[in-house]
Structure 1
C-alpha cells in the first residue's frame, strides 16, 4: 500500500506539500497540485477521508513502542519510561497506547503500521534496528517521532538517551583502582547503541590505565538469565577474572546465581557491578553496585519534545537530549 511519503517521492515534493494538497490547508500552485494528483493516480494512493476529518481535531493519542521480552527484566526499565510519559500526557489531556516489538524488527514495523492507521498524534519509540533503513518507508511524515534509549545509525531527529558511557567508565576505573586487572564484561547482543557504548567505555578504561584488553574476557549473547550464568561460569573458570561488569539487569541476575551456587564470596573472590537499580539489588548480601539510568526522566523529556512538535506544528532538525546515568558504588566492589 502506497504512503504519503511514496507520493511525495514520485511527485518530487515534500510530504507536507502532499498533505496540503490533500487537505487544502495551504495554497499550493496548480502545477504542483497536478504533479501530486498524477503521483496519487500512478500509485493508486487513496487518502483516508476519516483520517482527514479527524486529523484537524487531533486524536489526542500518543503511541509508544518499546522492545520488551518476557525473559528480560529490562521490562521494568521501559515501564518506568512509560510512567514518565504517561504522567505528562495525562496532564495535557492525551492518552497513551503501548506497543511491544519484543525486540523483533518485523513486529516493530507491524506496530508502526498499526499506529499509522489509528490516527496517533505522535510516536515515541525505542528502536530495535541499528540503522534507519527499515523505518524510512513506514514513518509517513504525518506525525512527529521521538526516539528514546537507542540511536540508530543515520538518525538525526529528536532523541532522548541516557549517557551510560561515562558511568561505565567510572565503574570500570574504580575496579582497576581496587587492583582488578582481569575484568569480565558480559553484554547482550551488540549492534544496539547502548550496548556498544558500554563496551566502548570498558575498552577505554583499559586504554587509560595502560592495560591490555583480553577479548576472551568479553562475552556477548542473548540477553537472558541463562546467558549471564553461563558467561560468569566461563569467565571465572577459564579466564580467572577477579571482577565482572554486567551490562544489563537480567544477565546480572544470572551471573550472581552462578557466584552464589559456587560459594564465591562477593567481593572477596569476585567483585561485580550490574546495570539499572532495582530493589532486589539493594537487599542482596552484599548489596550490588550498579549503573542507575534516569528512565522516568527519559520518558518525561521524550514526551515534552513530542508535545512541542504536536502543538507548534513546526518541523525541526532534531533535539538530542543526553541525560546522565549514575554509578552507585555499594559493597560488591
Structure 2
C-alpha cells in the first residue's frame, strides 16, 4: 500500500480505504487511478493475512434448495450483486431440497470460516438435526420456520397477501370454482398461502371445497402430471398455482387438452419469474421481489456483522399481483 500510495501521490490511508471498499469519501477519479495502479503493478489482496488480522474473511455462504428454480436463481443473483457491492465473495450451495445436504453445507461453510450464512431452507426438514446443530456465525433466513436457533435476520415475504390477492382477482372476474394446486412443503409459507386462499373465498361467500385443493411438486412436471392423471373437478374455471413453473405445467396440459387459456381456464402463478413473461399467454402471477429479497438478506446480515449486534431482526417484504394474459372472465356455457 505504501508503494501504491507513492506512485499515485495519495496517502496510505486512502489506498487502504479503496482496496478495502470503504471509499465512500474518496473521489471517483482517485479511486480508479489507485485501482488501475494496483492492477498494473500486479498486486492482489492477501485475504488469508487480512483475515488473520481482522478476523474477517470477506466471504458469505448462500444455501438454496434448487438453483434450477428461477425464484432461487433470481434471489441468488440479488444476493450476489449486493455481496460484490459490499466487497464480499459469495459461496453458493445447492441442497436439492435435502436437509442432510443443507446441514452438511452449513458445517462446511463454518469450517471455511465464512463471516455469515444465508439459509433459504430446503422443503425437507428434521427438527432434531436442526436443533442439535450449533451455527456459530451470524445467519439470515428467508420465509422459513426452520428450527435453527438464534438467527440474526429473517426476511419475511407476505405470502398470505399474495395468495389472497390472486384469489380475489379471480373472484372479481366471476370465477366460482377455483382450484389451488399447491407445492409440497413443510415450511410456513405453504400454510400462509393456504390460509390466504381459504380466507379470500370465505370473504366472498364461497364455501371451501377440499376437492379443489391438490398437492404436487414445485415444478412443471408435478403440475402437468397431476392434471394429466386426475384432470379438473367439473366446473372448475381457474387454478391458483404454487409457483410459475407449476403454472407452466398447467398451461402445457391445457394446450394438449385443447383448453383455451384464459377463455376456458384462468391460471395464476407465483413468484413473477422470467417464465411468466416468455410463456404464451403471459402468466398472471404474484411478484415476490426475488432480486430485492436477495439484496436485503445480504445487506441486513452484513449490517449485523459490522455492528456485532445479533439481536434478531425481522424485515417484512410486500408481495403484489401482476395481471397479464392468463386470466379473464369465465365463459358462460
Shorter-chain TM band: 0.7 to 0.9
Question: Is residue 168–residue 202 contact of structure 1 (8 Å, CA) maintained in 2?
Answer: yes
* Stretch deviating more after TM superposition (54-63 or 285-294): 54-63
Q: Which residue of 2 aligns with 1:265?
A: 260
Alignment match of 1:152 (pick from 146, 154, 158): 146
Does the residue aligned with 1:64 lie in a helix, a strand or coil? Answer: strand
Rounded Cα–Cα distance in structure 1 between residues aligned with 2:126 and 2:149: 8
Deviations 1:130-158 (A, max 9, x none): 576433332333x1010013233686632
Does the residue aligned with 2:315 lie in a helix, a strand or coil? Answer: strand
Question: Is residue 184–residue 235 contact of structure 1 (8 Å, CA) maintained in 2?
Answer: no
Q: Which residue of 2 aligns with 1:320?
A: 314
Q: Which residue of 1 aligns with 2:64?
A: 66
Q: How many residues align?
A: 277
Question: Is residue 271–residue 288 contact of structure 2 (8 Å, CA) maintained in 1?
Answer: yes
* Stretch deviating more after TM superposition (130-139 or 323-332): 130-139
Q: Which residue of 2 aligns with 1:43?
A: none
Deviations 1:181-215 (A, max 9, x none): 11111111132222222111111111111211111
Rounded Cα–Cα distance in structure 2 between residues aligned with 1:136 and 1:55: 33
Rounded Cα–Cα distance in structure 1 between residues aligned with 2:211 and 2:185: 16
Alignment match of 1:120 (pick from 86, 103, 114): 114
Rounded Cα–Cα distance in structure 1 between residues aligned with 2:114 and 2:189: 28
**Structure 1 gap segments, 5+ residues each:** 1-49
Deviations 1:61-107 (A, max 9, x none): 101101006xxx52x22122222222222222211111111100011
- The two structures have a TM-score, normalised by structure 2, of 0.76
Given the alignment of the two structures, is residue 279 of structure 1 paired with residue 274 of structure 2, yes or no? Answer: yes
Question: Is residue 155–residue 316 contact of structure 2 (8 Å, CA) maintained in 1?
Answer: yes
Query: What is the correspondence of 1:188-267 to structure 2 with a 5 Å cutoff?
Result: 188-233=183-228, 236-267=231-262
CA RMSD of aligned residues (A): 2.4
Are residues 171 and 155 of structure 1, via their aligned partners in 2, closer, same or farther at CA, if it must alter by over 3 Å? farther
Rounded Cα–Cα distance in structure 2 between residues aligned with 1:198 and 1:107: 27
**Structure 2 gap segments, 5+ residues each:** 1-47, 328-333
Rounded Cα–Cα distance in structure 2 between residues aligned with 1:299 and 1:269: 37
Q: Which residue of 2 aligns with 1:304?
A: 299
Given the alignment of the two structures, is residue 175 of structure 1 paired with residue 173 of structure 2, yes or no? Answer: no
